[in-house]
Amino acid sequence: MSIELSRTLNALGLLAISAVLGVAFFDQLVYGDLPCPLCLLQRAGFVVAGFGLALNIKFGPRPSHYAMMMLGAIVGGLVAGRQTLLHIVPGTGTYGDAFFGMHFYAWATIVFFFIVLGAAVMLLFDRQFAARDVPLSPLSMLALASLVIATLMALGNGVSTVLECAGGLCPDNPTSYMLLQDGALKNLLGQ
């Protein structure tokens, strides 16, 4: 596998992660389904996995970038698996609305598994790591678009988390953006 093909595949993977974050963000903004603390940790896992992909796109593929991707997906997958286990016990209820028959945390568990699997498969192609001295070609439109979209998704989710949790502990079952409540911003700024 050439470096350019690897960068293209990494860009497609980054777009896929951005789509996952975009769907969750859309659900949050349009349907008012605010993410719980475990949901926020899962989003952080997606961002870390995406950061590993972004490093591969910008600086060329490296095993350490794939390792970062896998670590983010493993931690996110553990959090998603924990949340799934919390809600499979009869009578415990669920969190959030179902999406194509499953809740976001169940989908996240599956997607994190495929991120780890994809990174492991990409690590099998040694040729992408061989040409360290060859200068990288300029980023393609696909690569550049994937980096911009992923950055916007990460920043948007980060800002919404600060608004939701007001810079402190997030509520277990959030119902509003704490920082936007009356007086919360003034208290935070010390006025």
Judge whether residue 10 has pLDDT over 90.
Answer: yes
The pLDDT score that the predictor gives to residue 100 is 78
How far is the C-alpha of 62 from the C-alpha of 128, rounded, in Å? 8
The pLDDT score that the predictor gives to residue 131 is 67
The pLDDT score that the predictor gives to residue 191 is 53
Residue ranges covered by each domain of the chain: 3-189
Q: Is 30 helix (H, G, I), strand (E, B) or coil?
A: helix
pTM for the full predicted model: 0.88
How far is the C-alpha of 84 from the C-alpha of 94, rounded, in Å? 9
Q: What is the pLDDT of residues 131-165, one digit of tens each?
A: 666 667 788 899 999 999 999 999 999 999 998 88
Q: What is the pLDDT of residues 14-45, one digit of tens each?
A: 999 999 999 998 988 898 888 889 999 999 99
Could you tell me the pLDDT band of residue 175, with boundaries at 50, 70 and 90?
A: confident
The pLDDT score that the predictor gives to residue 172 is 82
Cβ–Cβ < 8 Å for 133, 125 = no
The pLDDT score that the predictor gives to residue 48 is 97
The pLDDT score that the predictor gives to residue 184 is 56
Judge whether residue 181 has pLDDT over 70.
Answer: yes
Q: What is the pLDDT of residues 51-90, one digit of tens each?
A: 999 999 998 899 999 999 999 999 999 999 998 888 887 7
The pLDDT score that the predictor gives to residue 78 is 97
Q: Sign of the CA dihedral 34, 39, 41, 45?
A: negative
How far is the C-alpha of 70 from the C-alpha of 24, rounded, in Å? 21
Helix (H), strand (E) at residue 120: helix 104-123
Could you tell me the pLDDT band of residue 2, with boundaries at 50, 70 and 90?
A: confident
Residue 40 has which token pair? 């926020």
